[in-house]
Structure 1
Amino acid sequence: MAGHSKFKNIMHRKGAQDKKRAKVFARLIREITVAAKSGLPEPDKNPRLRSAVIAARAANMPKDNVDRAIKRVALGEDDSSYEEVRYEGYGPGGVALIVEAMTDNRNRTASEVRAAFNKYGGSLGETNSVSFMFDHVGLLQYAAGTASADEMFETAVEAGASNVESSDEGHEVTCDPDDFSSVRDSLMESYGDPEEAYLAWKPQTMTPLDEDKAQTMLKLLDALDDSDDVQRVSANFEVADDVLARLTA
């Protein structure tokens, strides 16, 4: 959580593992479908689709599921019509949140997101009401054992990355969104698939929360996570490790 990373997208998930897995797979399939429709349905010729396939591999999605989703688009068998929408607002304690969704019904998604914010003391704002407090970056994460901090830094910078933060938990490489595909492909040649690779909203500053506010914040994130349309949530809060341990026990 935020105590371990300055800018990881913060998602707290509870519930049965199979339910979580099914939800993650559904989101990944939706991204694969949209990505395949945005260009050629071939990962090697479609950078966004390639990123989606990498994310699916990182989540241990069966290859057949991925291939089937791409094939449906290639054969014109997928008649879904998803659009990407972004919601911005404030949560408990003045925490800024960016909610990214893919939906075939904007009214439904907006209603679900608004209901979650309202229930847990948040408020939705206009587009760009909080995004100015974040940097939009390409983000790649590698395990700590992939390389030494110095080696990862040198390789990433040579590939065009703007920064690398290394810790016992791993390496987080950031780059300009326009350079994301080239940086990712270069690092993959050196180190293989990253654990995660996507365009992220990196908070410029963090908002500390006490235990009560943190508890409410986690409930808000859970409510947003319950929406099938929500793909990712970025937030600029941090919670002390001991508090987080109690709240997630």
Structure 2
Amino acid sequence: MAGHSKFKNIMHRKGAQDKKRSALFSKLSREITVAAKSGLPDPAMNARLRSAVLAARAGGMPKDNIERSIKKAEGGEGDAYEEVRYEGFGPGGVSLIIETLTDNRNRTATNVRTAVSKNGGNLGAGGSVSHGFDRMGLINYPASAGDADRVFEAALEAGAEDVTSTEEGHEIWTAQDALHEVLKALEPVLGEPEGAKLAWRPQTMVSIGEGEAAQLFKLIDALDDDDDVQTVWGNYEVPDEVMEKLG
């Protein structure tokens, strides 16, 4: 399990629980509303909103909920959220980037710091770990989109920079400013992706053992439980045999 997991990966690992599903929908709805307010409330004309809608669909969010979140932005409803990024370290020296959407910086900072410190980590200053990551576009396709060769050829033709394929699916990496151009070129060939967004890709990975992985997952779960936390990125890598032990 590689450490650029997004919340759908965390949700998959924890199982489909009603409480977690509701919390995920809340996070997705918040991102849709913020994205719609940042530009035109039309996914075809607003790249960020397009990404948010794709993520919502992949998360199983009902169409009515998605449309309601967009209309909330059109009507000027909802709180004024701002994006705040936190950086720090987890168990085993793993680097973490924590992205949030908040209407109260003090509350979010306190909650994030508490979750990290109580689970074997510590926060650092801005830029303390992001220099070890590349800001890139990430497009996710399920394994059903095709075999590794087909997806690689399609991605290469579309202008992507790299592809990682596993039994679970395909990750297509693009230059930061080329994400949506590549996505537009891929959809006629591979169909609609599970997700497409700007991401933090680690330049080097840190392999961690069973004890460190268990503690790291507790840290990520604690962050996941915070409504303000949208995404957690890390440079951890957990061997398959360790993942099997942890269930």
The answer to whether the 8 Å contact 1:9/1:201 transfers is no
Deviations 1:76-102 (A, max 9, x none): 3x1410000100001111110000000
CA displacement at 1:7 relative to structure 2: 4.2
Q: What SS does structure 2 have at the residue aligned with 1:43?
A: coil
The answer to whether the 8 Å contact 2:206/2:236 transfers is yes
- The CA distance in 1 between the partners of 2:46 and 2:153, in whole Å, is 27
- The CA distance in 2 between the partners of 1:153 and 1:199, in whole Å, is 20
Aligned length: 244
- The CA distance in 2 between the partners of 1:16 and 1:194, in whole Å, is 21
2:33 is matched with which residue? Answer: 33
2:67 is matched with which residue? Answer: 67
- Is 2:82 aligned against 1:117? no
CA displacement at 1:183 relative to structure 2: 0.9
- The CA distance in 2 between the partners of 1:167 and 1:8, in whole Å, is 14
2:21 is matched with which residue? Answer: 21
2:175 is matched with which residue? Answer: 176
Q: What SS does structure 2 have at the residue aligned with 1:32?
A: helix
1:56 is matched with which residue? Answer: 56
Q: What SS does structure 2 have at the residue aligned with 1:81?
A: coil
CA displacement at 1:242 relative to structure 2: 2.1
The answer to whether the 8 Å contact 1:165/1:173 transfers is yes
- The CA distance in 2 between the partners of 1:106 and 1:24, in whole Å, is 21
- Is 2:167 aligned against 1:165? no
- Residue 181 of structure 1 aligns to which amino acid in structure 2? H
CA displacement at 1:219 relative to structure 2: 1.0
The answer to whether the 8 Å contact 1:143/1:195 transfers is yes
- Residue 220 of structure 1 aligns to which amino acid in structure 2? L
CA displacement at 1:208 relative to structure 2: 1.4
2:81 is matched with which residue? Answer: 82
Deviations 1:215-245 (A, max 9, x none): 1111111111111100000111122222222
Q: 1:244 to 1:122 in 2, by over 3 A?
A: same
1:148 is matched with which residue? Answer: 147
Q: TM-score, normalised by structure 2?
A: 0.93
Q: TM-score, normalised by structure 1?
A: 0.92
Deviations 1:21-77 (A, max 9, x none): 11111111000000000001111111111111111111121111111111122123x
Q: Which runs of 5+ in 1 are unaligned?
A: none
The answer to whether the 8 Å contact 1:9/1:235 transfers is no
- Is 2:136 aligned against 1:137? yes
Q: Which runs of 5+ in 2 are unaligned?
A: none
Deviations 1:114-159 (A, max 9, x none): 0011112211001110011111111111122312322222221221
Alignment RMSD: 1.7
Q: 1:7 to 1:220 in 2, by over 3 A?
A: closer
Q: 1:161 to 1:16 in 2, by over 3 A?
A: closer
Q: Percent same amino acid at aligned positions?
A: 55
